[in-house]
Amino acid sequence: MRLDPGLAASIESDTALMADFEAICDCGGRLAGSAGERRALKLVAELGRKATGIAARYHSVPYDGWKATRAALRLADGTPAACYPLVFSAPAPAGGLAAEVVDLGRGTPADFSRHSADLPGRVALVRHELMFAAGTIHRSRKYRMAREAGAAGFLIAGPLAGAVVAGSAGRSGPDGIPALGIAPETAARLGPTSTGFAAVSLDLDTAEAPAEAFNLIFDLPGQYDEWVVLSAHIDGHEVGESAMDNASGVAAVLAAMRALAGAVPGFRRGLRVMIFNVEEWALTGSARYVAGLSAAERENIALDINLDSVAGSPRLTALTSGFPALGPFLAGVAAANGLALATHLPLMQNSDHANFALAGIPALRLVAGFDEPDANLRHLLTPADTRDKVAPAELRRAARLAAAIAVAAATAAPEEAARWRIAERDRASN
Ligand SMILES: [Zn+2]
């Protein structure tokens, strides 16, 4: 269905869209627990209230707080190398870790098994991969393989010349090994030498303590107690401005809610705008939210439309989380609004939509640059994730598409919404 031309025009002419985006970027990288994250949350609460007249509800997210208090890496000749501790990394042993480095290349399961005899007691070196591609191997899986192989430390080399890479180690539980993101030039100096493995010394101190962050919830009621969730995460990493990931998604969500607020009371379903927090730490904010829903509340959510990294390329893809009926629905909405949209069916657990999907709630992630290795999205999690990578037209397109999908979902007939809930695995077993 076509978005009302007046609503579409209001998004096209919305000057607040870029201003909001820049104001969020101005808060810095926004690591959960940092002053920048708290400033951004307060800012978005205020922007959302201004957009809708509705005050944000603060939803508590208890989580395992973590911060690095000191990190250093030195090559065998004593040269210091830039490094960035992965979130949730374990500390190095007291006095630091001096060890040889096994360069695993990409760090596939085959790479790990080929080097299984070399790894115990040494540092595993792998490469960061483009996240938005079929077949990508996630950093946290490589970290787990390194630990299981008995490695004493973990280094991951970024994709961007001269820049470190950030991310979460995905550690759960008290055990772990120290993990640092490094630049590709550093990795190039850590391959095997004529006399054996290269060596490094690595220092990393961390502090861990229970912490609390907050998700923001703005409820715009429709005619029934049924909801379409429009979501985006606010937190990021301290290496850049976390501009594409995910100031872009938050700004687009704000623009969509600003345009739609007056129309939602006429829709069958309400719009629940959720600004998730602690996403970069294993999707924690949305996991807490979904875990707190009763069966009836889950049933009353027709769809989660999650915007994560929606600019940096003009091409948008919907990751439809194993719900086959979502693809044709979304393709229809995009076509009716003259927008291009690719879809990708398998569940990708790379943002907050995954927690909805795992709970049986139809969910999609809108993402830019999927399977586009040269798109600006390749700079995600590096110091180059900055506002200059985002074109205003990309942000407007994402906001317009999100609004169109939200309206179509909020007004869809109950039979149509029921079809979305049929997951691929249900089909397979039928
Ligand atoms: Zn993200």
Q: What does the pLDDT look like over 362-375, one tens digit per residue?
A: 999 999 999 999 99
- What does the buried/exposed string (b/e) look like for 121-150 if buried means 16 or more CB atoms within 10 Å of the residue's CB? ebbbbbbbbbbbeeeebbbbebbbbbbebe
Q: Predicted confidence band at 427 (pLDDT cuts at 50, 70, 90)?
A: low
CB 403 within 8 A of CB 7: yes
Mean predicted lDDT score pLDDT of the chain: 95
Distance 428 CA to ligand 1 centre (A): 30
Q: Predicted confidence band at 194 (pLDDT cuts at 50, 70, 90)?
A: confident
How crowded is residue 427: how many other Cβ atoms within 10 Å of its Cβ? 12
The CA distance from 416 to 405, in Å, is: 14
pLDDT at 172: 67
Q: Is the pLDDT of residue 164 over 50?
A: yes
- The mean per-residue pLDDT over the stretch 110-134 comes to 94
CA proximity to 217, closest of 47, 41, 56:
56
Q: Predicted confidence band at 170 (pLDDT cuts at 50, 70, 90)?
A: confident
The CA distance from 15 to 33, in Å, is: 30
Distance 309 CA to ligand 1 centre (A): 6
Distance 310 CA to ligand 1 centre (A): 9
pLDDT at 193: 87
pLDDT at 429: 43
Distance 196 CA to ligand 1 centre (A): 39
CB 113 within 8 A of CB 119: no
Q: Predicted confidence band at 131 (pLDDT cuts at 50, 70, 90)?
A: confident
Conformational region of residue 345, where left means phi above 0, alpha means psi within -120 to 50, and beta covers everything else: alpha
Q: How many residues does the chain have?
A: 430
The CA distance from 344 to 136, in Å, is: 14
How far is residue 313 from each of residues 122, 316, 372, 383, 385, measured CA to CA in Å?
39, 8, 9, 18, 13
Tokens (6 digits) for 47: 């922007």
Q: Is the pLDDT of residue 297 over 90?
A: yes
Q: What is the pTM of this model?
A: 0.94
Distance 351 CA to ligand 1 centre (A): 6
Q: Is the pLDDT of residue 430 over 50?
A: no
Task: Pinpoint the alpha helices (H) of 58-199.
Answer: 109-114, 139-148, 184-188
Distance 245 CA to ligand 1 centre (A): 5
Tokens (6 digits) for 315: 């091409």
The CA distance from 259 to 14, in Å, is: 9
- The mean per-residue pLDDT over the stretch 150-167 comes to 95
CA proximity to 388, closest of 18, 4, 2:
18
The CA angle 401-404-408, to the nearest 5 degrees, is 140
The CA distance from 427 to 185, in Å, is: 48
Distance 308 CA to ligand 1 centre (A): 5
- pLDDT tens string 2-54: 899 999 999 999 999 999 999 999 999 999 999 999 999 999 999 999 999 99
Distance 89 CA to ligand 1 centre (A): 19
CA proximity to 363, closest of 326, 411, 405:
326
Distance 207 CA to ligand 1 centre (A): 24
Distance 91 CA to ligand 1 centre (A): 25
How crowded is residue 331: how many other Cβ atoms within 10 Å of its Cβ? 15
Distance 377 CA to ligand 1 centre (A): 11
The CA distance from 96 to 204, in Å, is: 7
- pLDDT tens string 246-295: 999 999 999 999 999 999 999 999 999 999 999 988 899 999 999 999 99
Distance 203 CA to ligand 1 centre (A): 28
Distance 268 CA to ligand 1 centre (A): 30
Cα 66–chain centre separation: 18
Distance 6 CA to ligand 1 centre (A): 31
Q: Predicted confidence band at 424 (pLDDT cuts at 50, 70, 90)?
A: confident
Q: Is the pLDDT of residue 425 over 80?
A: no
Tokens (6 digits) for 233: 């995460």
The CA distance from 306 to 249, in Å, is: 8
The CA distance from 57 to 274, in Å, is: 10
- The mean per-residue pLDDT over the stretch 208-235 comes to 97
Q: What percent of the chain has pLDDT over 90?
A: 91
Q: Is the pLDDT of residue 394 over 60?
A: yes
